[in-house]
Amino acid sequence: MRTLLIGGDRLRQFHRDPGFSVINNYGPTEATVVATSGPLLPNGSLDIGKPIANTCVYLLDAQQQLVPLGVAGELYIGGEGVARGYLNQPQLTAERFLRDPFSGKAAGAHVPHRRPGALERRWHAGLPGPQRRPGEDSRHAHRTG
């Protein structure tokens, strides 16, 4: 084996030199499974990589403003792979999807922002912050939890 692709759950253990490359994939179902991907390096942190093609990520505070480098925030995922809502569930869609102020689509997760291009997922149940109804724009953001 030369490369192992992982994803779908929190990486709890990682042998720093397994003898093959390990690619970590992250993304909620609402982002059609994978939104970020990147190699796990022997001396690096267990981050979730960078956005895949046609995807963008934003780290925002509770007021949905961009956070400075080094400050933790909610991860918003935008792009072609993000759902526009839940099929035949308008109430749930209204609760969990909101208009994307950055003209993309997104899903929320709490991550610390360490350096450009490297995001580390912090796992917890439920996400803080306000929930909003989608705006008139067809582009939405999704809040998980």
Length of the chain: 145
pLDDT digits (tens, 9 = 90+) for 89-142: 999 888 777 666 675 444 444 454 444 455 655 543 333 333 333 332 333 444
Asked if the model's pLDDT at residue 37 lies above 90, the reply is yes
pLDDT digits (tens, 9 = 90+) for 7-16: 887 777 777 7
Strands 55-60 and 73-79: antiparallel
For residue 117, CA distances in Å to 15, 19, 48, 96, 134 come to 23, 25, 9, 27, 29
- Please report, for the chain, the start and end positions of each structural domain, with discontinuous segments joined by +: 3-142
Name the β-bridge partners of 36.
26, 51
Confidence grade of residue 77 (pLDDT, cut at 50, 70, 90): confident
Whether the pTM exceeds 0.75: the reply is: no
Superfamily (CATH H level) for 3-142: Luciferase; Domain 3 (2.30.38.10)
Asked if the model's pLDDT at residue 61 lies above 80, the reply is yes
